Amino acid sequence: MPTVKEVLAYGTQILNQNKIGDATRDARLLLMHLLSCDRATLIINNDKLVEEEIVATYFKYIDRRKNHEPLQYITHYQEFMGLPFYVDQNVLIPRQDTELLVEKLIALPWNHHPIGLEIGVGSGCISVSLLHYISNLTMVCSDISQAALDIAAKNASINACIPRIKFIHSDLFANIPQQKFDFIVSNPPYIPKCEMNQLQPEVLDFEPAAALTDSGDGLAFYRAIATEAKKYEIGILAFEIGYNQGPDVTKILEIEGYQNIQLFYDYNNKHRVIIAQQGEI
Ligand SMILES: C[S@@+](CC[C@H](N)C(=O)[O-])C[C@H]1O[C@@H](n2cnc3c(N)ncnc32)[C@H](O)[C@@H]1O
């Protein structure tokens, strides 16, 4: 049986040979996942032997990563807003950039029992985090993908917020009942079709296309949601946007008559979040 050190060295070598960005880190994280241990435990046990069965699974994982499958789809895990999320190929992997959208909503002065609607819930990272950090909040969550809704429900259960979350299978607002929402939030598919070929293989070949692009100019969902949302009584409309979509989405919201339109920058100093107001919150 090989030692931890030997297994890691060989895993790292394979990933390096296949030009996987952070080969050392990924080789280590895959072994930590299989051994259910943290980094310190792995280092302390460098000279311990690894069971053959674990070695075999480890090299299957290395093989998948070598072919650019994202680490998170192999380990089925991504942290978001300090909370654990299950992920697989049916949902977009939660991005750190999206935390800004959640942080901006958490910071608003919610002083009663707010009700929010999320269009395109995916893994549930936005809604579940909002429920975790805003007490008395209730969320209605929709997605066109039933598989995504099932994963969002699993994550709601993992993070103990099932009683305050409702799921609706819907193409945009098609099945969303008429009711008042204090806010509508969405991180819609916003990559323009013409930019799809610039994506890393990890994204293009593995993440669901329906979560990435509108197959058009990248603005179709902003137009549709901004228009449809006006049929509901809402307070706030909040979107994640692409780094260069600030001016276009601002214009869409202005044309639709939204007020107090605010753009927020991410840590790379790019537009990432836009929030507008339709009514009182
Ligand atoms: C960019 S992902 C965002 C997922 C998650 N909210 C997040 O921030 O990680 C967009 C989501 O919108 C969903 N979606 C795409 N088209 C839709 C439509 N017409 N109606 C509702 N949801 C849609 C996709 O299935 C996907 O889960």
- Residue 192 has a pLDDT of 98
The structural domain count of the chain equals 2
SS3 at position 23: helix
Q: Which domain holds residue 90?
A: 78-277
Answer yes or no: is 72 within a domain: no
d(CA 267, CA 11): 33
**Environment class of 140 (CB within 10 Å of its CB; exposed 0-12, middle 13-18, buried 19+):** buried
Where among 67, 101, 116 does a domain terminate?
67
d(CA 199, CA 48): 40
Q: Which of 88, 119, 131, 168 to mutate to test the pocket of ligand 1 (most atoms within 8 A of CB)?
A: 119
Ligand 1 neighbours (beta carbon < 6 A): 91-92, 94, 98, 119-123, 125-126, 142-145, 148, 171-172, 187-189, 210-211
- Residue 45 has a pLDDT of 94
Answer yes or no: is 73 within a domain: no
Look up the CATH number of the domain holding residue 109. 3.40.50.150
d(CA 184, CA 235): 8
d(CA 36, CA 29): 10
Distance in Å, CA 91 to ligand 1 centroid = 8
Closest ligand 1 atom to the C-alpha of 148?
A: 27
Mean pLDDT by 10 residues, the chain (281 residues): 96 97 96 96 95 97 98 98 98 98 96 94 98 96 98 98 96 97 98 97 97 98 97 96 97 96 95 91 65
Where among 34, 67, 100 does a domain terminate?
67
- Residue 28 has a pLDDT of 97
- Residue 281 has a pLDDT of 65
- Residue 111 has a pLDDT of 76
Q: Phi and psi for 264 in degrees, rounded to 5?
A: -125, 145
d(CA 256, CA 249): 11
